[in-house]
């Protein structure tokens, strides 16, 4: 058994800050839509706007951090071992087969993780942020919102993006249980250390 320091302090901060912000946005989003009734509509809207702004600031700062540290390379998709990874997650994991990709500081994510994170960072997050800004700023640029199909379409796109993020979160929760032990992946995101057999 060997221990590898995989997740730097800032990466762990970014991860957990995102968790708090996204859960806040999901909960307040459900309240704004009338599915939940906890804070009240106006408080939910204010907290949702603050959470959205917080996520934008965190995302911009983290993009800067990834580019300046070179860690952006971790998110570049690859086809190498992609089929092996799919096979592992669909059948191999249930047969206790060896993981086809071992996480290292130079290569933290397997091909499926890279594709998922790339999709989130390049498509889902920007669309969510743009739709949220348009939704929030409709009084400032009503002509732009109308030209894009109206407020109803902007809200629908924002809601669809929220469900995409929520789906990612559910899959993410499952995936943290697929480590060497039930809690090893969670422990590594808390401490930064990963244990390899």
| pLDDT at residue 137, as a whole number | 80
pLDDT single digits (tens) 19-72: 999 999 999 999 988 887 888 889 999 999 999 999 999 999 999 999 999 999
The pLDDT tens digits of the residues spanning 87-116 come to 998 898 888 888 888 888 999 999 999 999
Residue 80's φ and ψ, nearest 5 degrees, are -60, 125
User: What tokens were used for 41?
Assistant: 């509509």
Q: Report the predicted TM-score, pTM, of the whole model to 2 decimal places.
A: 0.84
Taking residues 186-190, what's their average pLDDT?
90
Phi/psi at 123 (nearest 5 deg)?
-115, -60
């Amino acid at each position: 058994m060997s221990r590898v320091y995989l997740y730097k302090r800032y990466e762990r901060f970014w991860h957990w800050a995102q968790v708090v912000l996204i859960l806040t946005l999901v909960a307040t989003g459900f309240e704004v839509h009338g599915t939940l009734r906890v804070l009240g509509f106006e408080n939910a809207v204010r907290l949702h706007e603050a959470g959205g702004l917080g996520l934008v600031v965190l995302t911009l700062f983290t993009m800067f951090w990834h580019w300046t540290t070179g860690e952006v390379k971790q998110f570049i998709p690859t086809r190498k071992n992609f089929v092996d990874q799919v096979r592992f997650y669909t059948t191999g994991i249930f047969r206790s087969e060896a993981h086809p990709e071992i996480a290292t500081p130079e290569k933290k994510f397997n091909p499926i993780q890279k594709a998922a994170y790339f999709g989130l960072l390049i498509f889902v997050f920007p669309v969510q942020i743009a739709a949220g800004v348009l939704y929030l700023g409709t009084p400032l640029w009503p002509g732009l919102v109308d030209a894009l199909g109206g407020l109803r379409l902007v809200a629908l796109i924002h809601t669809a993006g929220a469900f995409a993020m929520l789906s990612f979160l559910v899959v993410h929760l499952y995936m943290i249980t697929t480590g060497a032990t039930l809690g090893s992946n969670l422990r590594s995101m808390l401490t930064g250390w990963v244990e390899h057999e």
